[in-house]
A and B are shown apart, each in its own frame.
Chain A
Amino acid sequence: MTDKVLLDYGSGGKASQRLIGELFLKHFDNPELRRMNDGAVLSVSGKIAVSTDTFTVDPMFFPGGDIGQLAVHGTVNDVAMMGAVPKYLTCGFLIEEGLPMADLERVVTSLGAAARAAGVWVVTGDTKVVPKGAADKLFINTTGIGEVIVDPAPAGDRAMPGDAILISGTLGDHGLAILSTRQGLSFETPVLSDCASLNHAIEALLRNLPDVHVLRDPTRGGLATTLNEIALASNVSCDLEEDLIPVRPEVRGGCSLLGLDPLYLANEGKFLCIVPEADAEAALKIMRADPLCAGAKRIGAVAALERPGQSGRVVLKTGLGGRRLLGMLEGEQLPRIC
């Protein structure tokens, strides 16, 4: 293969075949993909959960991860949050002409390894190469399919007054890792992305505690945005205690420097879990048994709204004992002037 990706590789001809055989099949190998059909025929039982996501990240390789593994983690996590065990992935690559082949191979290798670790098969895929300038390096779309293992499944509108709010670990790591790399900033303690597939931890949780009310991964918009969505959908107040919310000191420091709030930064390897109060301790114990969730903590509780007609909201009890709203952002967080 050439050392740069050429338009030929997306032509459907021999070059495409070489790319598929020598790269994708090599790293994604499984019996279904090996049949090299136009699509995949799959067996599933009961209800299925489906989720799709398209990945574009600048830079493609960042401290703690890359776009390849992110394309697995993101979709696997979305399927798992539906109360499902992810089984299969489809994978579409949109490549800008001229991308170094070594970069593509590094991404594909990483994607394959992440899929194996998560226990999912990449069963069908697609490759397009577009002329230089028509896309930025590499976009990846993945669609995940999983078997739902609980009924009713966790959902954003099931938070009930009295429920406990749990988080699987520290917040803001991924967002700050990306932003600081993009800006060429480095900190004394390097900040790594937390990107990881959480499906094994979720499965353990659901098999032991089927009555989990809400599961969400606080990706873009962070914890604050995700909890606001839940509060609105469930028509409740999510009351958090600032002192209990885990944020690494280096992330707190970096955020303070850039004028950012870690509670609004993206996470790619954390989940939020809302359970009946009676199940809270058991849930934390199960979560902490998984190395990815060793820092799981209870951060607050769900309460009824104070007034009829009020819309769902998130209230933060600060370290000083004051109270303030933790609202939704209008758009992306922008570093401040002074």
Chain B
Amino acid sequence: MSLEILDQFHDPALCKSVLDRLNETLTGPLRFMEVCGTHTVAIFRSGLRSILPKEIIHLSGPGCPVCVTHEAEINAFLDLAEKPGVIVATFGDLMRVPGSRGRTLKAAQADGARVRVVYSPPDAIKLAAENPDAKVVFLGVGFETTAPGVAASLKMAKAQGVANYRVLSFHKLVPPALTALLSDVAPAPGQGIDAFIMPGHVTAIIGIEPYRPVVERFGKAAAVAGFEPLDILQALLFLAECQRDKTPRLANLYRRVVRDEGNAKARAVMAEVFTTADALWRGLGLIPGSGLEIGDAYAAFDAKRDFGIEIQDCPPLPGCKCGEVLKGRLAPNLCPLFGKACTPAKPVGPCMVSTEGSCAAYYKYQVD
């Protein structure tokens, strides 16, 4: 898509007119949650948060892949990185995430562990081909957006006979997390979630149907949206209209990228390589059927089997309210640790760790 077209999506005059309509449509407080780190950052970075009507309350859900990677999973990454004969290949944003012992991949790298930042799984396969004496383990973190690319890399490794390539899959699935979030104990009155902005990239893969239960079973309006200010404003307008009409609906407002049916090819690759499994989420705990494991056909490339990795829950971090933040029950700045014991320099909880985490975004961008 050309940059000129994208420019229209942050045209101040267009945005202002949607904002005006939003103001006219609102009938009361609208507590919306987005479930994508890119949305979190876009809302803060564009300054949108500071010009939204007071009635609109922005909650950031468990949509940042780094944030929801469990401490125990980070520990597993660190243990692997420190094994002789292993090169760990990872996306850059995992480098600074602390495990339960406060250690990071960046620190492990400084101590001599072989950790390489890559931009895509094929880069990791190339790394494996260049280092035949080592096992190159790609750290598989991310949602439905990232998983198909990793699945394709496993197919590629198998086809090319790159026998020293491994993947440690901790991929997670968005819809089961939404169900878990909405099935959790009832929030105090006025503290729940009224509506959702659904992640654009994830939906491009899974399509809109997996969100149907959010609307029909839990009665929440949901809009799939892009990441430009105008995208987000239009989604909010739709959610406000649903609230005014008292009829929760589901809409795909990101048609320039997302087809209603998603991407069947990408899903087929995922299904060929992965099977679903229970997964641990930071702040949310164990969610049934919310993870992806490497299936039997690709067992030879599975780092979990090769290195005998087992993940066990560990106690939550004392004082950290990230679980409440991720569920939309607490604003980041109301956590007692926020900005004091917990800052981007020394993050305690997951939401402060990633640049796309809600606490980090709040700390970084919020003026008042």
Contact surface of A with B, Cβ cutoff 8 Å: 183, 242, 249, 252-253, 258, 315-325, 327, 330-331, 334-338
Contacts and interface: CB of A to CB of B under 8 A. Distances in A.
Given A338-B143, A338-B146, A321 B12 contact: yes
B47 A321 contact: yes
A320 B51 CA distance: 8
Contacts of A249: 3
A338 B45 contact: no
B96 interface: yes
Ranked nearest first, the 3 interchain pairs of A and B with the lowest CB-CB distance are A322-B47, A334-B92, A318-B47
Contact of A322 (B49, B141, B364): B49
A135 to B, nearest CB: 18
Given A336-B355, A337-B65, A337-B146, A320 B10 contact: yes
Interface of B: 3, 10, 12, 15, 38, 44-51, 65-66, 91-96, 106, 117, 119, 141-143, 145-146, 201, 229, 344-345, 355-356, 363-367
B47 A317 contact: yes
Contacts of B96: 330-331, 334
Contact of B364 (A183, A327, A338): A327
A338 B46 contact: no
Contacts of B141: 337
B3 A319 contact: no
B15 A320 contact: yes
A183 to B, nearest CB: 6
A247 B229 CA distance: 19
A322 B46 contact: yes
Contacts of A324: 44-45, 47, 49-50, 365-367
A163 B365 CA distance: 24
A273 to B, nearest CB: 25
Given A183-B119, A330-B344, A335-B91, A322 B66 contact: no
B352 to A, nearest CB: 10
Contacts of B48: 320, 322
Contacts of B94: 337
**Main SS of the interface on chain A?**
loop
B93 A318 contact: no
B3 A322 contact: no
Contact of B92 (A319, A323, A325, A336): A336
Contacts of B117: 334-335
Contact of B50 (A258, A322, A327): A322
Nearest to A337: B91
Given A320-B10, A338-B142, 10 more contacts: A252-B3, A317-B47, A319-B10, A319-B47, A320-B15, A321-B47, A322-B51, A324-B44, A324-B49, A336-B356
A309 to B, nearest CB: 14
B46 A336 contact: no
B47 A323 contact: yes
Given A321-B47, A335-B92, A338-B38, A330 B345 contact: yes
A315 B364 CA distance: 11
A334 B51 CA distance: 29
Nearest to A183: B119
24 contacts: A316-B47, A318-B47, A319-B12, A320-B48, A321-B47, A322-B46, A322-B50, A323-B47, A323-B50, A324-B47, A324-B365, A325-B367, A327-B363, A330-B96, A331-B96, A334-B117, A334-B355, A335-B91, A335-B119, A336-B91, A336-B92, A338-B65, A338-B143, A338-B145
Nearest to A334: B92
B296 to A, nearest CB: 27
A306 to B, nearest CB: 9
A334 B93 contact: yes
A337 B45 contact: no
Contacts of B45: 318, 324
Nearest to B142: A337
A86 B119 CA distance: 41
Nearest to B51: A322
Contacts of B364: 325, 327
Nearest to B345: A330
Nearest to A324: B365
Nearest to B363: A327
